[in-house]
Amino acid sequence: MDVKCVILLLFSITIGTPTSQHGNLIGVNDEQKEVEQSEKISKLEAIVANLMVEIGQLKTKLSYLKDDTDRNAKETFTLKQKLIHGKSVTNSIPQTEGSKSPELIDSKRGLKPVSAYDHIGRETRLLLPGNTDDGKRTAFHAFMGSNEPVTAHKLIIFNNVRINNGHGYNNNTGVFTCPISGLYVLTYTLYPYLNSWTTMELIVNNSVHSKSFVDGSEDYQVNGATAISLVYMTKGATAYVRTGTSTNSHLQSVGSIRSDDDVWSTFSGWKISD
């Protein structure tokens, strides 16, 4: 509905047509009437403006929900395809006589030994037991439990932990301390609140390892950022996420980092090799 139509509708309901006991119009000065009507219109305009803001916020939330639904549907489809593919390949592996396991094929027939996981892609096998971590793969994933105001060089604490294999991440300080030397993937995703923006930095051993910029300066636009880094860490090395600085005075930290029911700002990492 057009904003003007809403104003006229509310105006007609609110103002009405005042009458006297004898059915005649109340004798009020025309100028005074105009003032009163102008005040009422201003109030109605303010109400409509607030309603339009709420409508915009609801549209934004609806957009987020739709994105989540689409992403979940894609993930479900992908998992189904992997399960179907894995089952068909596993069933096709010949077994040795007297054995119920496909782990080995009879070497007398000139066939090479086959692992039960050979049908799984290399990327998936990296996370299975039996790799260089012997089932003790270091990994962590945490997210912020609420919005956080930003200032220059402020360390961001992701206080809600979902995974912390190896106990390297400290949700009180926001710092990951490497428990086992190796090659790690470190990544963070951050969202700005409305009318907020800031430079973000990944700090590894007190040095900037990557930078990104999150921008929520436009109305109802949440331009988050994800940074992914590959870094070799020795035991005891540290990594954390903080706000950065910019040589551009218009890009200094303003507002808050967002993390609520609609979006989560996260910090994750995992070891991929020695």
Which pairing describes strands 197-204 and 207-215: parallel, antiparallel, or unpaired?
antiparallel
Q: What is the reported pLDDT for 139? A: 96
Two structure tokens written together for 38: 């102008």
Among 246, 236, 238, which Cα is nearest to 214's? 246
pLDDT at 231: 95
Q: What is the average pLDDT score of the chain?
A: 75
How distant is the alpha carbon of residue 10 from its chain centre?
40
For 103-125, what is each residue's pLDDT tens digit? 444 444 444 444 444 555 554 44
Of 75-84, 141-150, 230-239, 255-264, the poorest mean pLDDT is in 75-84
Split at pLDDT 50, 70, 90, the class of 100 is: very low
How many whole angstroms separate alpha carbon 105 and alpha carbon 118? 13
**Position with higher pLDDT, 57 vs 176:** 176
SS (H, E, C) the chain: CCHHHHHHHHHHHHHCCCECCCCCECCCCHHHHHHHHHHHHHHHHHHHHHHHHHHHHHHHHHHHHHHHHHHHHHHHHHHHHHHHHHHHHHHCCCCCCCCCCCCCCCHHHCCCCCCCCCCCCHHHHCCCCCCCCCCCCCEEEEECCCCEECCCCCECCCCEEEEEECCCEECCCCEEECCCCEEEEEEEEEEECCCCEEEEEEEECCEEEEEEEEECCCCCCCECEEEEEEEEECCCCEEEEEECCCCCHHHCCECEEECCCCCCCEEEEEEEEC
Average pLDDT over residues 45-49: 81
Comparing 23 with 230, the larger pLDDT belongs to 230
Burial class (CB in 10 A: 0-12, 13-18, 19+), 244: buried
Neighbours of 1 (CB within 10 A): 7
Share of the chain above pLDDT 90, in %: 27
193-215 confidence digits (pLDDT tens): 877 878 889 999 999 988 888 87
**Span 64-84, average pLDDT:** 77
How far apart are the C-alpha atoms of 134 and 271, rounded to whole Å?
12
pLDDT digits (tens, 9 = 90+) for 138-188: 999 999 988 888 888 889 999 999 999 999 999 999 999 999 999 999 999
Has residue 243 got a pLDDT over 60? yes
Q: For residue 230, what pLDDT band results from cuts at 50, 70 and 90? A: very high
Token readout for 213 is 């910029």
Statement: 134-273 belongs to CATH 2.40.160.40: no
* The predicted structure's pLDDT at residue 73: 79
- Per-residue confidence (pLDDT) for residue 106, from 0 to 100: 44
